[in-house]
């Protein structure tokens, strides 16, 4: 698979991202419905990048520029089922990191029941900082991870 093009999401792509979130993990397990996912995808405080091939969206990543102690924070990332395992998530993550050129650190959280996502982050250089039990939903922990960028 050739590397997708990655750019800022259009309004329609943000709506698509909300639908993808609502139909994917971890949002299914965490009980996030389509309305909540759409609202998150449309939030203008977040930088939303979309990976495309032939104008079709393959995945997205949402970053808050100052999410954790003033450092960028990956709030959500998802890849369409037909594009999973093809490097789209890694490309989105790398593009987000490159976007914040003055940042020293990038943070993210990954649900404890999502080992595939955690493996992606570890391959990309993120390390575990600590667990946040019951942070998003009771009975599940979010694992805070960090990567030094500069």
DSSP notation for 110-147: EETT-HHHHHHHHHTT-EEEEEEETSSSTT-EEEEEEE
pTM of the model: 0.94
- State the average pLDDT over residues 106-133: 96
pLDDT digits (tens, 9 = 90+) for 102-116: 999 999 999 999 999
Least confident segment among 15-19, 30-34, 96-100: 30-34
pLDDT of 150: 77
Answer yes or no: are the C-beta atoms of 77 and 93 closer than 8 Å: yes
Distance of CA 119 to the CA centre of its chain: 14
Burial (CB count within 10 angstroms: exposed 0-12, middle 13-18, buried 19+), residue 8:
exposed
Q: What domains are there in the chain, each with its CATH number?
A: 5-148 (3.40.630.30)
pLDDT digits (tens, 9 = 90+) for 55-80: 899 999 999 999 999 999 999 999 99
For residue 2, pLDDT beyond 80: no
Structural element, H or E, at residue 14: helix 11-22
- Please indicate whether residue 145 or residue 69 has the higher confidence score (pLDDT): 145
Q: How do beta strands 71-79 and 105-111 pair?
A: parallel
| Average pLDDT along the chain | 95
């Amino acid at each position: 698979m050739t590397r997708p093009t990655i750019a800022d999401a259009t309004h329609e792509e943000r709506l698509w991202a909300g639908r993808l979130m609502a139909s994917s993990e971890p949002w299914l397990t965490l009980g996030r419905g389509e309305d909540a996912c759409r609202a998150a995808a449309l939030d203008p405080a977040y930088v939303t990048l979309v990976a495309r091939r032939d104008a079709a969206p393959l995945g997205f990543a949402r970053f808050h520029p100052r999410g954790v102690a003033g450092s960028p924070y990956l709030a959500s990332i998802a890849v369409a089922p037909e594009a999973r395992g093809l490097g789209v998530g890694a490309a989105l993550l790398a593009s987000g990191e490159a976007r914040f050129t003055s940042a020293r650190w990038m943070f993210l959280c990954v649900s404890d029941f999502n080992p595939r996502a955690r493996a992606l982050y570890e391959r990309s250089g993120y390390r575990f900082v600590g667990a946040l039990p019951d942070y998003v939903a009771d009975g599940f922990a979010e694992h805070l991870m960090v990567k030094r960028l500069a």
